[in-house]
């Protein structure tokens, strides 16, 4: 029991300062859609992803000739190559390429976590594959939900809860922090029908208005990719 | 539908700045044990409660001859008259009196909410009585969970979820904000057995170590008081 590692959930980036980062693996989660798109991109052969926080940084990369994805308010920002949809990466068009990405919440959370020992990318799409890896690392895990503009968001917390559930079941982890217990119970309430559970969620409403139901359904279907993107310096690469 | 009022849950005081306060009723919640003790005190005839945030303020009141309750880390602070236990107020000893209270989390949350139009005190002890009153006010409601030292805490969020559930059932309220949906689902998971649900929660563990199981059981038993403490200036009074 005493050798078990700790798994915690940070519900929004605004609470990130409350958590220890030393000797932790931070899992950045933005289910709709940044980290889902990243998992899909790597699964389709993308070589590197450079997550940047601002449109200005994205523009600077674009000027240097990079392929750049930029999303704000759920839509692709004019003048860039891609938005935030996982389906932008599924045709193998970007195999071997480096892509720069900026999104409303996800890339901000990833960059916020740069002070941690290790930052990996989590989504429902790599749930079991990443969980198995986390279980083998023998380190504390902090699941960082990206939220929506620093506010709590349901789908990221549910995804964090799915990781908590997997890690606890391995018996290698303890979960005795309230936010992690809450995330786990929310996951257990939601897991049999994510779409129905999230029907009232603010972000899904936001995306539904943009006719992104296909994206949402895909992002909420676990275990479609076997990838673990990890942050090395300024770029994400496969582990 | 469009005339329905909004009910939202703020999971910890650190996120309070993200919410609008104008034309809102803020319900301050600290189940273990500040707002439960306050409901019990009023139910036992206490006339006024002055919530103060610091031990220094409490000492200043004590020096002026006030009866002062002070709790830190779950225990009564030396040199004061009372701690944070609801059972300190049940013998009618303080009937008609004014009590000054400072606690680790609850009184801080109450004072933080002072900028709101109306601040009332909520706990499981006045759940249905306060819900009925809130339903009649025709105003937006913000449930402020006190948390533990600015961190998310399970029992306050569950209590907030119980209020959300009551307000939605009245059909006078909509709940479409993610943190409120989460609180409601946590309440629905917990409501048939709070004690079992909260057995792993950090605060309950903290209090259990202090042998406060009687207090916990009492605070987790809904609808034992018919009181609505409201903040008027610096003091709480019955509405």
* CATH superfamily entry for domain B5-238: ComB-like (3.90.1560.10)
Instruction: Tell me the CA distances in angstroms from B137 to B5, B7, B123, B131, one per residue in order.
Output: 10, 12, 19, 10
Q: CB–CB of A150 and B179 under 8 A?
A: no
Q: CB–CB of B18 and A18 under 8 A?
A: no
Give the rounded percent of residues in chain B with a pLDDT score beyond 90: 82
Q: CB–CB of B203 and A178 under 8 A?
A: yes
How far away is chain B from the Cα of A198, in angstroms, using its nearest Cα? Answer: 9
pLDDT range class, residue A206, cuts 50, 70, 90: confident
Q: CB–CB of B179 and A151 under 8 A?
A: yes
What is the model's pLDDT at position A2? 61
Give the rounded percent of residues in chain A with a pLDDT score beyond 70: 99
Q: CB–CB of A14 and B11 under 8 A?
A: no
A191 phi-psi bin (left φ>0, alpha ψ -120 to 50, beta other) = alpha
Backbone angles phi, psi at B5, to 5 degrees: -90, 165
Report the half-sphere exposure of B153 (CA within 13 A, side-chain side). 26
Contacts of A183 (CB under 8 A, 6+ apart): A9, A11, A143, A157, A158, A160, A161, A164
| Range with the poorest average pLDDT among A30-39, A68-77, A149-158, B209-218 | B209-218
Backbone angles phi, psi at A31, to 5 degrees: -60, -45
Query: A151 to chain B: which residues are within 8 Å by CB?
Result: 15, 18, 178-179
Query: B10 to chain A: which residues are within 8 Å by CB?
Result: none
Q: CB–CB of A157 and B14 under 8 A?
A: no
Asked whether the predicted pLDDT for residue B1 surpasses 60, the reply is: no
So what's the ipTM on this one?
Answer: 0.90
Nearest-Cα residue of chain B relative to residue A19: B151
Cβ-based contacts under 8 A for chains A and B? 76
Choose among A113, A108, A95, A110: nearest CA to A40: A95
Query: B197 to chain A: which residues are within 8 Å by CB?
Result: 185
pLDDT range class, residue A209, cuts 50, 70, 90: confident
Q: How far apart are CA B146 and CA A185, in angstroms?
A: 21
Q: CB–CB of A178 and B185 under 8 A?
A: no
- Supply the mean pLDDT for chain A: 93
Report yes or no: A50 and A100 within 8 Å, Cβ to Cβ.
Answer: yes
Choose among B166, B163, B159: nearest CA to B190: B159
- Looking at the partner chain, which of B12, B178, B197 has a beta carbon nearest the beta carbon of A201? B178
Q: How far apart are CA B176 and CA B185, in angstroms?
A: 13
Q: CB–CB of A154 and B11 under 8 A?
A: no
Query: B177 to chain A: which residues are within 8 Å by CB?
Result: 202
How far away is chain B from the Cα of A237, in angstroms, using its nearest Cα? Answer: 32
Report yes or no: A6 and A56 within 8 Å, Cβ to Cβ.
Answer: no
**B202-206 long-range contacts, Cβ below 8 Å, gap at least 24?**
B202/A176, B202/A177, B202/A178, B202/B148, B202/B153, B202/B154, B203/A178, B203/B32, B203/B148, B203/B153, B203/B154, B203/B155, B204/B32, B204/B155, B205/A176, B206/B73, B206/B74
What is the model's pLDDT at position B114? 92
Buried b (16+ CB within 10 A) or exposed e, B201-211: bbbbeebeeee
Average pLDDT over residues B207-228: 90
Instruction: Tell me the CA distances in angstroms from A52 to A13, A56, A104, B98, B174, one per residue in order.
Output: 16, 9, 10, 56, 36
How far away is chain A from the Cα of B91, in angstroms, using its nearest Cα? Answer: 34
Average pLDDT over residues A119-140: 97
How far away is chain A from the Cα of B185, in angstroms, using its nearest Cα? Answer: 7
């Amino acid at each position: 029991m005493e050798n078990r590692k700790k798994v915690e959930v940070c519900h929004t980036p605004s609470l990130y300062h409350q958590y220890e980062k030393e000797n932790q693996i931070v899992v950045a989660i933005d289910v709709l859609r940044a980290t889902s798109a990243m998992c899909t991109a790597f699964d389709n052969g993308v070589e590197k992803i450079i997550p940047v926080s601002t449109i200005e940084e994205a523009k600077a990369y674009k000027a240097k000739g990079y392929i750049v994805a930029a999303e704000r308010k759920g839509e692709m920002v004019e003048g860039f190559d891609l938005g935030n949809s996982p389906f932008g990466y599924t045709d193998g068009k970007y195999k071997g390429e480096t892509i720069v990405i900026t999104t409303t919440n996800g890339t901000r959370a990833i960059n916020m976590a740069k002070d941690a020992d290790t930052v990996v990318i989590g989504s429902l799409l790599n749930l079991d594959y990443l969980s198995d890896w986390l279980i083998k690392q023998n380190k504390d895990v902090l699941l960082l939900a990206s939220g929506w503009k620093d506010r709590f968001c349901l789908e990221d917390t549910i995804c964090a809860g799915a990781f908590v559930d997997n890690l606890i079941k391995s018996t290698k982890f303890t979960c005795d922090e309230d936010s992690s217990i809450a995330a786990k119970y929310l996951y257990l309430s939601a897991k049999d029908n994510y779409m129905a559970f999230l029907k009232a969620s603010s972000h899904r409403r936001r995306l539904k208005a943009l006719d992104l139901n296909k994206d949402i359904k895909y992002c909420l279907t676990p275990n479609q990719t076997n990838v673990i993107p990890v942050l090395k310096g300024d770029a994400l690469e496969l582990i």
